[in-house]
């Protein structure tokens, strides 16, 4: 994947966050057109650091997408799992290390709609990373993957209900470039 250099001109930064195997890598491929090498099917964490790719929308806006370590991914066999707070710290460190003083335009939070034991995403630790301040929840999109409209409705009425009532948006990602563009446009208007 072609990574962006620090401090290149970008119009916004969006973090891709979620558990391993939730579709972040395929989203990066579809959005950027690059061949991204992550793999959520491995026991060991594949995206163990923040990775970046550039997406340009139809209007020429340059959006930096940053893929993060998978929440709940083991760092290796028998090692502890990566927490939401550790992912938040990794994003903050990456932004500072690459001289991006601006905060995120938003977060795409990925979750498998066919998950056996779905959990409500714990997104409060990401609050300080987004530009929107008081409108934090409106800068979050819950991206449902690997399911159909019935699965999405089940999540919206159950697992995601409280977050949606606070202004979080949701979308069923269909693993296509068009679906990736739609998710990004829900944050970058």
As a whole number of angstroms, the distance between CA 133 and CA 135 comes to 5
Assigned domain for 6 exists: no
Tell me, what's the pLDDT at 76? Answer: 64
118 in a structural domain: yes
CA separation for the pair 52, 67 (Å, rounded) = 6
Backbone φ and ψ of 164, nearest 5°: -65, -35
Burial class of residue 138, CB neighbours in 10 A (0-12, 13-18, 19+): middle
Write down the pLDDT at residue 149. 92
Establish if 3 belongs to a structural domain. Answer: no
Report if residue 1 sits inside a domain: no
Give residue 48's pLDDT: 64
**Domain presence at residue 82:** yes
Given this model, what pLDDT does residue 18 score? Answer: 92
Where residue 93 sits, what CATH number does that domain have?
Answer: 3.40.50.300
Range of the domain at 166: 12-185
Q: What is the mean pLDDT of the chain?
A: 83
pLDDT in tens, 92-139: 899 888 887 667 899 999 999 987 766 778 877 787 787 666 678 889
Mean pLDDT of 2-15: 68
Query: Residues 50-89, buried b or exposed e (16+ Cβ, 10 A)?
Result: bbbbbbeeeeeeebbbbbbbbbbbbeeeeeeebebebbbe
Torsion angle, alpha carbons of 36, 37, 38, 44, to 10: -170
Report the C-alpha gap between 142 and 108 in whole angstroms: 6
Q: Strand pairing partners for 63?
A: 12, 55
Predicted structure pTM score: 0.85
How far separated are the first and last CA of the chain, in Å rounded? 26
The total number of structural domains that make up the chain = 1
Structural domain contains residue 7? no
The percentage of the chain sitting over the pLDDT mark of 90, rounded to a whole number, equals 39
Give the 3-state secondary structure of residue 106. strand
In a domain, 100, yes or no: yes
Q: Whose CA is closest to 176, among 64, 11, 36, 30?
A: 30
4 occurs within a structural domain: no
Band of residue 4 on the pLDDT scale cut at 50, 70, 90: very low
Q: What is the mean pLDDT of residues 16-45?
A: 76
Q: Which helix (H) or strand (E) holds 19?
A: none
For residue 40, pLDDT over 90 is answered with no
Q: How much is the pLDDT for 115?
A: 78
Cα–Cα dist 183/55, whole Å: 12
Express as a percent the part of the chain with pLDDT over 70.
82
The model's pLDDT over 42-90, given as tens digits with 9 standing for 90+, comes to 434 455 678 899 999 888 889 999 999 888 877 666 667 888 888 888 8
């Amino acid at each position: 994947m072609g990574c962006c250099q620090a401090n290149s001109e970008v119009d916004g930064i969006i973090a891709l966050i979620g558990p391993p195997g939730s579709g972040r890598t395929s989203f990066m491929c579809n959005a950027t057109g690059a061949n991204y090498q992550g793999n959520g099917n491995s026991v060991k964490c594949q995206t163990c650091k923040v990775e970046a790719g550039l997406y340009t929308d139809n209007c020429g806006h340059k959006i930096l997408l940053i893929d993060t370590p998978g929440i709940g991914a083991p760092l290796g066999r028998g090692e502890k799992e990566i927490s939401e707070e550790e992912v938040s710290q990794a994003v903050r460190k990456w932004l500072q290390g690459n001289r991006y003083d601006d905060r995120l335009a938003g977060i795409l939070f990925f979750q498998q709609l066919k998950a056996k034991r779905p959990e409500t995403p714990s997104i409060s630790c990401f609050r300080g990373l987004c530009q929107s301040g008081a409108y934090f929840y409106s800068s979050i999109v819950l991206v449902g993957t690997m399911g159909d409209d019935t699965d999405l409705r089940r999540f919206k009425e159950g697992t995601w209900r409280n977050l949606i009532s606070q202004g979080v948006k949701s979308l069923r990602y269909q693993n296509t470039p068009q679906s990736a563009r739609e998710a990004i446009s829900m944050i970058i208007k």
